[in-house]
A = this chain, B = another copy of it.
Amino acid sequence: MIQASICTIGDEILIGQVIDTNSSRIATALEEAGIRVTRMLSIGDNREEILSNLRNELEINDIVITTGGLGPTKDDITKGVLAELSGSKGYVENPEQLAIVQQILHSRGLDMLEINRAQALVPDRCEVIPNRLGTAPVMVFRFPEDTFGATLFALPGVPFEAIGALPSVMEDIRAHYPLDHILHHSVMVYGIAESALSELIAPWEDALPKDMHLAYLPNPVTGIRLRLSIYGGEEAEQKARVQEQLKGLEALLGELVYSDGDDTLQATVGRLLKAIGKTVSTAESCTGGMISHLITSVPGASAYYLGSVISYAVSVKKNVLGIPAETIQTAGVVSSTVAAAMAEGVRRTIGTDYAVSTTGLAGPDGDEFNPVGTVWIGVAGPNGTKTVKKIFKNDRKRNIERFAASALDELRKMIISDLK
């Protein structure tokens, strides 16, 4: 199997100023092409460290992809170090990249300075993949068998330039390396703890063939992603074998599976609503707009989402959602009755098919009746209203996220049950 390593170069990552998102995107592209990423590393703008780390990565791997350190300023030293590493005798001007640099400066109304012209200079031992999105080209160093027998691709660090260059880099890799296929398939699960899930599917997991691998990827908001991977082999056969295994898994898990794929809860709910041509609204108290934010984070949400009332104060529950003051006083704000009245109130006020509500205590404090982390969720639909109580034990931020995810899951379950 072809092995690769990804290396980001730049002090700004090591001091925590910038989160490295390039590596993840590059890793995804490599994985999809059937290349195993053995390691990712981030190092500083320091000659000795760049040299020793890259030598090490080139020894171990077939492909090394670096990002960063190619800017025009003094702290960017990657190009010089790569010239040294590759035994280049000097620099040559790349006419294609020079034309791009000229064009970029022109479009910004700037004159070409020496520092800009130098961006088109590359070590004489590399090939160039022009970068149309910025001034620094991608440099390709092919180290022969008697040195490392590996290829190094040096990409710019600016994320949209690095990601923009990826298709050309992958094309170059495909042209030079024979590639196996890896197939990953995810199933999204909500409403069960990782340990209980593990116990539940243990017999199935233990019976998996040796060339398949299961990973648990838990996320407190989206639930648990179960990823089944199969290495090597022919794609159609891989798919069929994975599908066969997933049938067994889904039979065990039933309604706990909310997506056969990578969808989020909000995308799943959106897909269901779109498919049946129904609409939704939310009435949120303790989640303060989080459910609405999640729903509208999905492009095209306007096809099924009309709006929400965030009734943080009791006055809004009364005046906008039309819940009688006596109801709130008798049942208490955090109650099944109020959750139901909120969902029904917003469903009526905004005029949707479904509505989901939350009333609870995200923290930091509980009240005299309920501990912090308590939420009542209401879901109202064409066939009636249901309420569910949940108690989480997290901090405010995490409680809000979990309340919102649970509410989306309850909505999902009502829609599915209505479809039956």
Contact = CB atoms under 8 A, between A and B. Distances in A.
A23 B11 CA distance: 13
Given A16-B28, A110-B196, A41 B38 contact: no
A307 B218 CA distance: 32
Contacts of A394: 133, 160
B301 A73 contact: no
Contacts of A160: 220, 394-395, 397-398
A292 interface: yes
Interface string A183-219: 0100000000111101100000100000001111110
A75 to B, nearest CB: 5
B31 A24 contact: no
Interface residues of A, number: 104
A184 B15 contact: yes
Contact of A40 (B14, B307, B309): B14
Copy number in the complex reads 2
Contacts of A420: none
Nearest to A18: B217
B311 A216 contact: no
Given A72-B198, A75-B215, A312-B307, A27 B14 contact: yes
Interface stretch (A173-181, A241-249, A313-321): A313-321
B307 A320 contact: yes
Given A16-B28, A350-B316, A363-B299, A107 B391 contact: yes
A265 interface: no
A55 interface: no
Nearest to A196: B110
A2 interface: no
Contacts of A289: 284, 289-293, 296, 308, 310
Contact of A310 (B17, B297, B308): B308
B302 A293 contact: no
Contacts of A267: none
A113 interface: yes
Interface string A277-295: 0000010100011111101
A158 interface: yes
Contacts of A49: 38-39
Nearest to A112: B195
A306 B299 contact: no
Interface string A1-32: 00000000001111111111101111111110
A142 interface: no
- Interchain residue pairs A-B with the least CB separation, the first 8: A288-B296, A289-B292, A16-B28, A289-B289, A16-B27, A307-B316, A308-B310, A306-B313
26 contacts: A14-B31, A14-B37, A20-B24, A38-B44, A39-B42, A39-B44, A40-B41, A71-B216, A73-B195, A107-B393, A108-B193, A108-B393, A113-B195, A135-B195, A288-B293, A288-B297, A289-B291, A289-B293, A299-B364, A306-B312, A307-B312, A308-B308, A308-B310, A308-B312, A309-B309, A313-B350
